[in-house]
């Protein structure tokens, strides 16, 4: 008799990721995938060159735990320039292994067993598992298509309790493409101001907001003190594989995050940090170029979907469209599996992003127009054949 491997008891509460199957099938050359959630651009060459230079100069050693001071200074400049937020480079910024580590280190250090964490759902698929691994209790606040998948004050109020420790916010949003504007965030801030709750604001898609400049909840009155702004280089500069992100927060929070990060990680990859400095200093043109390109694709996709009778919530951020497929009478999984089988097009079932994603599928438009067009032609055939 083989003994079951003894593992962390929280691990069993985490399901296997549904998305993996669809990404694997999507990698098959016969399949046209609109599944991948990462930029299709290569990292701009001047950024790669900065890393190459650091390598050739042999700058391959550990950096300070919080990251190169030069990089933290550039992050502070960027936060000031783009979000009107002031952070002291030496005490209020921690450079991490992608935004992913920023989320993990924040959850590990701020949570105690039994603490409740509000996860705005449907959500990025890593939030819930990490909260659970920390012994936290996930409390979902489900956003609705008719609200444009935005978090509303009333929905949040219903789920707040005296055990609520954190709120995880992600706007512009994966998987819905929703953004939240200043007025809407001020509403949310108004009920958090006097509560001892911190906000983990994952703003990884901040540069991919197509109709207005990104606004951070940390900019709302009374929120700077209780918000951890998380961002990174992956989506903004097409640097997913570099694994580089950061978190900005009040000093007392960065102190505790850095304490754990130092033991667990030592520091983010040095070469990536040098690339990051170049990205923040000289990467604005590349951002504009990529944003314009995504925006054209976004309009193209939304127009086509509307024409073929698949309503969308007109997403204004990130590079996703969350499509309502309830009229097909199928579940998200059946819809995606049948579409794969009949038309060899890969989308991601909405329930991969939480229960409230059921009835939707996620389409990523981080692909060339030609590729998107081929996939949408096939999707349209599929929809017509259903009728």
Partner 1 sequence: MDKLLKILKDNARLSTKELSAMLNRTEVEIINQISELENNGIIKGYKTLINEQKINAGVTALIELKVTPKKEFGFQDIADRVMQFSEVESVYLMAGDYDLAVFVKGETIQDVAMFVSKRLAPLDSVISTATHFVLQKYKQDGVVLDDSKNNDIRSQMVKE
Q: What is the DSSP string of 152-177?
A: -HHHHHHH--TTEEEEEE-SS-TTT-
- 36 or 204: whose CB is closer to partner 1? 36
Residue 244 found at the interface with partner 1 (CB under 8 A): no
The answer to whether 22 and 349 are in contact (CB under 8 A) is yes
CA distance 320 to 35: 9
Q: Tell me the window of 218-226, 228-236, 300-308, 326-334 that interacts with partner 1 (CB under 8 A).
A: 300-308
Q: What is the DSSP string of 198-226?
A: EEEEE-TTTT-BSSS----GGGSTTTGGG
Binding mask 38-67 for partner 1 (x = CB under 8 A): x-x-x-------------------------
Q: Please identify which residue in the block is written with the tokens 């067993």.
A: 113
Residue 300 found at the interface with partner 1 (CB under 8 A): yes
Q: Count interface residues toward partner 1 (CB under 8 A).
A: 22
- 120 or 301: whose CB is closer to partner 1? 301
Out of 17, 55, 69, 369, the residue judged to bind partner 1 by CB under 8 A = 369
- 82 or 373: whose CB is closer to partner 1? 373
Residue 92 found at the interface with partner 1 (CB under 8 A): no
Q: Please identify which residue in the block is written with the tokens 């985490």.
A: 14
User: What are the tokens at 274?
Assistant: 């040098």
CA distance 359 to 241: 32
Out of 29, 61, 194, 341, the residue judged to bind partner 1 by CB under 8 A = 29
CB of 229 to partner 1, least distance (A): 28
- As a residue count, the chain comes to 387
Q: Tell me the window of 92-100, 148-156, 301-309, 335-343 that interacts with partner 1 (CB under 8 A).
A: 301-309
Out of 18, 22, 26, 319, the residue judged to bind partner 1 by CB under 8 A = 26
Beta strands in 279-330 (DSSP E): 320-324
Residue 370 found at the interface with partner 1 (CB under 8 A): yes
CA distance 276 to 284: 13
- 277 or 286: whose CB is closer to partner 1? 286
Residue 299 found at the interface with partner 1 (CB under 8 A): yes
Out of 8, 11, 13, 27, the residue judged to bind partner 1 by CB under 8 A = 27
- 157 or 296: whose CB is closer to partner 1? 296
Out of 303, 309, 342, 355, the residue judged to bind partner 1 by CB under 8 A = 303
Residue 36: which residues within 8 A CB-CB, separation 6 or more?
23, 26, 364, 366, 367
Query: How many other C-beta atoms lie within 10 A of the C-beta of residue 49?
Result: 12
The answer to whether 10 and 340 are in contact (CB under 8 A) is no
**What's the Cα-to-Cα distance from 293 to each of 39, 176, 306, 320, 367, rounded to whole Å?**
11, 19, 20, 14, 10
Out of 304, 311, 374, 382, the residue judged to bind partner 1 by CB under 8 A = 304
Does residue 122 have a cis bond before it (omega within 30 degrees)? yes
Site residues (CB under 8 A) for partner 1?
23, 26-27, 29, 33, 36, 38, 40, 42, 241, 292, 296-297, 299-300, 302-304, 367, 369-370, 373
């Amino acid at each position: 008799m083989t003994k079951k491997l003894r593992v962390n008891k929280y691990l069993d509460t985490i399901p296997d990721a549904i998305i993996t199957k669809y990404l694997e099938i999507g990698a098959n050359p016969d399949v046209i995938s609109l599944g991948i959630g990462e930029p299709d651009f290569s990292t701009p060459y001047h950024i790669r060159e900065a890393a190459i230079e650091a390598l050739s100069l042999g700058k391959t050693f550990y950096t300070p735990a919080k990251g190169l001071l030069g990089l933290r200074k550039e992050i502070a400049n960027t936060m000031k320039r783009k979000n009107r937020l002031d952070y002291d480079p030496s005490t209020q910024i921690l450079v991490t292994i992608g935004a992913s580590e920023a989320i993990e280190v924040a959850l590990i250090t701020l949570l105690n067993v039994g603490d409740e964490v509000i996860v705005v759902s449907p959500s990025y698929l890593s939030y819930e598992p990490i909260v659970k691994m920390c012994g936290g209790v996930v409390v979902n606040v489900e956003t609705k298509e008719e609200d444009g998948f935005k978090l509303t004050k009333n929905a949040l109020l219903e789920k707040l309790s005296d055990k609520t420790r954190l709120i995880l916010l992600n706007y512009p949003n994966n998987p819905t493409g929703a953004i939240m504007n200043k007025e809407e965030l001020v509403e949310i801030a108004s009920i958090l101001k006097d509560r001892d709750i911190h906000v983990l604001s994952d703003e990884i898609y901040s540069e991919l907001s197509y109709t207005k400049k990104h606004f951070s909840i940390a900019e709302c009155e009374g929120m700077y003190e209780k918000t951890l702004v998380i961002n990174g280089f992956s989506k903004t500069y097409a640097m997913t594989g570099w694994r580089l992100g950061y978190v900005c927060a009040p000093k007392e929070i960065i102190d505790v995050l850095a304490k754990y990060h130092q033991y667990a990680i030592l520091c983010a990859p040095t070469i990536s940090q040098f690339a990051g400095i170049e990205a923040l200093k000289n990467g604005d043109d590349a951002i504009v170029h990529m944003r314009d390109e995504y925006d054209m694709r976004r309009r193209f996709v939304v127009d086509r979907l509307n024409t073929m009778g698949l309503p969308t919530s007109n997403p204004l951020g990130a590079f996703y469209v969350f499509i309502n497929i309830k009229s097909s009478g199928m579940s998200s999984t059946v819809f995606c599996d049948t579409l794969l089988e009949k038309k060899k097009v890969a989308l991601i079932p909405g329930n991969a992003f939480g229960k409230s994603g059921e009835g939707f599928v996620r389409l990523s438009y981080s692909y060339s127009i030609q590729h998107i067009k081929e996939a949408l032609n096939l999707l349209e055939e599929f929809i017509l054949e259903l009728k």
